[in-house]
Amino acid sequence: MDVSSLQLSSAKVVRDLFEAGAAACASAACRKGSIEVIGPPGVLIATGDLHDNPAHLGRLLEASGLSDGLWAGAGGAAERALISPDRHLLLHEIIHPPRLINGMDFSFRALARVAALKAQFPERVHVMLGNHELAQALGTAIIKDGVKVVDAFNAGLEYAYGIDADHVADAIKKFVLSMPIALRCVCPGADGRAGGHHILCSHSLPSPAHMARFDPTLLARPLEFRDFEPLRGSAYMMVWGRGHDAEILEDLVERWGVNLFILGHEYAERGIRLIPPCGVVLNSDHAAGVYVPLDLSAPPRFEAIPGLAVPLGG
């Protein structure tokens, strides 16, 4: 059964999907501490915020070679063999779309499908923590375009699942808090040296004003609940950060041994925006949204990345 046709009317089915997604995040072979790590050969389909854009998600599944091989349930070796072995898909900021139905947000359905993807393809699908998922899991208020998005999401859960809504919300929280904070791509350098070029994909980075309180060892250790604490936790600071500049990027290059950052969170009118010397902001949710395929065997130069961007709209 195609994942797009999953029966999400059952609270038990949906809880099971989120539980399976959480288990896959925690146990994936590519999980190292708070992050996931991949390398060549292969291509990473790098994306920005998605915000429950179903058409764009469908195109991303096609680009990653996943659209023809998605099954609910356990799946077998023959089914998994249909998946392109050299394609990775990066997803983050999946929930809280701009459109509501009678004031309710039903983007938990998109998140459930992504949980199913992660459970079936734990080494190919990489679901990073975003600030909207974290806010939903913790019940932290966000007002976007005049909408209390966490409340609208909860209203959608209550409408769909009634007395079981709290159980589904608990499973969502488990899935969200299991997500890695970043994806590190360990690629060959310009001289062909293995591991000479590192790309770090994360929803965002700490704001310059927060660096004095941010724990830079976050990437090298498992996440703890204190890391999610609003305004004080390092994971919270990382997914909410804005206003990055050359100084903060160069600082983190030295601390983390990273050559290129692929980020989301901030608005990019044309779907992609560069922050010199090594930061790229992607958006995948709006009409000008894009994705960028990154060859892990031959990572692109920073200035060449805009030329690789593929439009999702139209």
pLDDT in tens, 154-164: 999 999 999 99
Q: What percent of the chain has pLDDT over 90?
A: 83
Better pLDDT: 196 or 310: 310
Angle at 305 between CA 300 and CA 308, to 5 degrees: 100
What confidence tier does 242 reach under pLDDT thresholds 50, 70, 90? very high
Helix (H, G, I), strand (E, B) or coil at 217: helix
> pLDDT tens digits, residue range 251-299?
999 999 999 999 999 999 999 999 999 999 999 999 999 999 999 999 9
Cα end-to-end span (Å), the chain? 28
User: pLDDT at position 299, please?
Assistant: 92
User: pLDDT at position 67, please?
Assistant: 73
Counting Cβ atoms within 10 Å, is residue 139 exposed (0-12), middle (13-18) or buried (19+)? exposed
> pLDDT tens digits, residue range 188-214?
876 556 667 899 999 999 999 999 999
Q: How many CA atoms lie within 13 A of 238 on its CB side?
A: 27
Alpha-carbon distance of 303 to 314, in angstroms, equals 26
CA distances from 224 to 102, 126, 184, 203, 204 (A): 37, 20, 20, 18, 19
User: pLDDT at position 193, please?
Assistant: 63
Alpha-carbon distance of 241 to 131, in angstroms, equals 9
User: pLDDT at position 4, please?
Assistant: 54
pLDDT at 81 over 50: no
Alpha-carbon distance of 90 to 113, in angstroms, equals 14
pLDDT at 184 over 70: yes
In this structure, are strands 182-187 and 147-148 parallel, antiparallel, or unpaired? unpaired
**Distance of alpha carbon 199 from its chain centroid, rounded?**
15
Better pLDDT: 314 or 141: 141
Helix (H, G, I), strand (E, B) or coil at 88: strand
Q: Do residues 242 and 204 touch, judged by C-beta distance below 8 A?
A: yes
Residue ranges of domains in the chain, CATH in brackets: 3-31+41-178 (3.60.21.10), 182-286 (no CATH)
Nearest of 139, 60, 154 to residue 107 by alpha carbon: 154
**Distance of alpha carbon 302 from its chain centroid, rounded?**
21
Alpha-carbon distance of 126 to 123, in angstroms, equals 7
Alpha-carbon distance of 132 to 60, in angstroms, equals 20
What confidence tier does 146 reach under pLDDT thresholds 50, 70, 90? confident
